[in-house]
Amino acid sequence: MREIEGGVAAPAGFWAAGAQAGLKAAGGYDVALLYSDCPAAGAAVYTRNAVRAHPLALTAAHLADGAARAVVVNSGNANACMGERGERDARAMAQAAARALELPETDVLAASTGVIGQPLPLERVCAGIAAAAAAIGTLRAGAGEAGLAARKAEAARTAALAIMTTDLAVKEQAWEMAGPAGPVRLGIMAKGSGMIHPNMGTMLGFITTDADLPPPLMQDMLRAAVDDSFNMATVDGDTSTNDMVIMLANGRSGVRPAAGAEDRFRRLLNAACVAMARAIARDGEGATKLLETRVRGAASRVDARRIARAVCGSSLVKTAMYGEDANWGRIIAAAGYAGADFNPDGFALSLNGLAVAAAGRGLPFAEAEAKARLSSAEIVIDISLADGEAEAVAWGCDLTPGYVDINAAYRS
């Protein structure tokens, strides 16, 4: 398994490009197209918010047959809470992409991210779609030419840029895994930042692979991977109306992964999703530190997950970590209100390897040593319980004045 260049366009047969359609006040890329040049299976996981943006319904309908060949995405406007106009606009986006890529409309999926409740500037979005499709067409026309891989990767990067809102870092990755039947590739891009909280979805994620995956197996693999990655990442406890993860598999490698839980492809998919979830938490709005909470010894997986997420989500823990203050009482308090069953007297805790509590009580530790450990850009909160064997890991970030500045000023 090795990391390669090319993001979502790294797997064979996939192409991606971004365009600048003028949808974001700050300018930059804001429309992305993702395309497979041969038939592909599709799967998706959606936000659990009761209010769902219009592109989600369209994507779910177009995935009913388990097949899709393209995804169109815009940032800068959520296309949510717009009634029938929103439905029409989501469909118009898909139609524009289908026309430009010469596909049936039902092979195109759609996603949007940005401000809720404002009409989509459809003309600009369609111009962006045409531009992105033209960029993909130019790349494809150059197939076989020297430097194509680098140009493809560059275009895929503009797609990864186009899905960003308040993100500071572009989030894309690609992997190649060798195997007896030949290599298989997986690419991923995501956007995160604010409104990130574990009720699935929690952000936008797009995964491509040239593995050959039957849709039900892919859906199962995707759900499991999302459950242990994006659903364990929290920035501010808010779950958006728009978030989803879409996966396309076009089978071009000829490699068909096995169905078992221990299959290497499944592990690759999980690792790729975890890498994105960590990147999203690290890039949380205003964040200066990545928090990783590991829970061990819980009575059940549900308990472990609840505790890990509650600790990563606690405003008091997040501010203490920003302040580099080993205020472990806030961590045990957050575990206590997580809705999990555990014995407080079996609670042990370390912060970046420094043991600060055991048997439910504080241990003596040097404040200077604690401060030094917490000055790191990554803080591992290690919680050990005495209730069983279950484990979970969650990711979050510190809560800083920057978070407030960003969200008090920006209508997103």
234 is catalytic: no
Q: What is the four-CA torsion angle of 273, 224, 331, 281, rounded to 10 degrees?
A: 20
- Quick one: 158 or 202, whose CB is closer to a second copy? 202
The one among 79, 113, 241, 253 contacting a second copy by CB under 8 A: 241
The yes or no reply on residue 345 touching a second copy (CB under 8 A) is yes
State the nearest-atom distance from the C-beta of 337 to a second copy, in Å: 4
Site string for a second copy, 380-399 (x = CB under 8 A): -------------------x
Residue 367, classified by CB atoms within 10 Å of its CB into exposed (0-12), middle (13-18) or buried (19+), is exposed
Task: Write out the two tokens for 5.
Answer: 């260049």
Spatial neighbors of 189 by CB under 8 A, at least 6 apart, are 7, 8, 16, 156, 159, 160, 163, 171, 172, 173, 205, 206
In DSSP terms, which residues pair with 294 in a beta bridge?
A: 382, 393
| Binding positions for a second copy, 125-184, rule CB under 8 A | none
**CA 94 to each of CA 41, 104, 106, 258: distance values in angstroms, whole numbers, following the listed order:** 17, 10, 8, 33
The yes or no reply on residue 377 touching a second copy (CB under 8 A) is no
Report which DSSP code applies to 300: S
The one among 14, 24, 30, 49 contacting a second copy by CB under 8 A: 49
Under a CB-based contact definition with an 8 Å cutoff, are residues 274 and 361 in contact?
no
| Binding positions for a second copy, 209-238, rule CB under 8 A | 236-238
The yes or no reply on residue 79 touching a second copy (CB under 8 A) is no
| Among candidate residues 317, 332, 305, the one with its CA nearest the CA of residue 374 | 317
The yes or no reply on residue 403 touching a second copy (CB under 8 A) is yes
Report which DSSP code applies to 230: G
Name residue, tokens 């891989």: 149
- Quick one: 107 or 236, whose CB is closer to a second copy? 236
Site string for a second copy, 52-71 (x = CB under 8 A): x-------------------
The one among 10, 116, 247, 279 contacting a second copy by CB under 8 A: 116
Centre a 10 Å sphere on the Cβ of residue 408 and count the other Cβ atoms it contains. 7
- Quick one: 113 or 158, whose CB is closer to a second copy? 113
Side chain identity at residue 357, one-letter code: A
| Among candidate residues 17, 26, 52, the one with its CA nearest the CA of residue 135 | 17
State the nearest-atom distance from the C-beta of 325 to a second copy, in Å: 6
The yes or no reply on residue 316 touching a second copy (CB under 8 A) is yes
Find the part of the chain contacting a second copy (CB under 8 A) among 19-27, 98-106, 221-229, 308-316.
308-316
Catalytic residue among 113, 202, 209, 400: 202
The yes or no reply on residue 322 touching a second copy (CB under 8 A) is yes
Site string for a second copy, 265-304 (x = CB under 8 A): ----------------------------------------
- Quick one: 199 or 270, whose CB is closer to a second copy? 199
The yes or no reply on residue 335 touching a second copy (CB under 8 A) is yes
Under a CB-based contact definition with an 8 Å cutoff, are residues 20 and 192 in contact?
no
Q: Rounded to a whole number, what is the distance in angstroms from the first to the last CA of the chain? A: 38
Under a CB-based contact definition with an 8 Å cutoff, are residues 204 and 210 in contact?
no
State the nearest-atom distance from the C-beta of 192 to a second copy, in Å: 14
The one among 4, 122, 127, 332 contacting a second copy by CB under 8 A: 332
Residue 377, classified by CB atoms within 10 Å of its CB into exposed (0-12), middle (13-18) or buried (19+), is exposed
The yes or no reply on residue 193 touching a second copy (CB under 8 A) is no
Task: Write phi, then psi, for 155 (nearest 5 degrees).
Answer: -65, -40
What is d(CA 391, CA 331) in angstroms, rounded to the nearest whole number? 17
The yes or no reply on residue 78 touching a second copy (CB under 8 A) is yes
The yes or no reply on residue 323 touching a second copy (CB under 8 A) is yes
The one among 263, 341, 382, 391 contacting a second copy by CB under 8 A: 341
The yes or no reply on residue 81 touching a second copy (CB under 8 A) is yes
What is d(CA 174, CA 272) in angstroms, rounded to the nearest whole number? 8
Q: Report the interface residues with a second copy, using CB under 8 A.
A: 48-52, 78, 80-83, 115-118, 194-195, 197, 199, 236-241, 313-316, 319-320, 322-323, 325, 327-330, 332-338, 340-342, 344-345, 347, 357, 359-362, 399-401, 403-409, 411-412
- Looking at the annotation, which residues are catalytic? 202
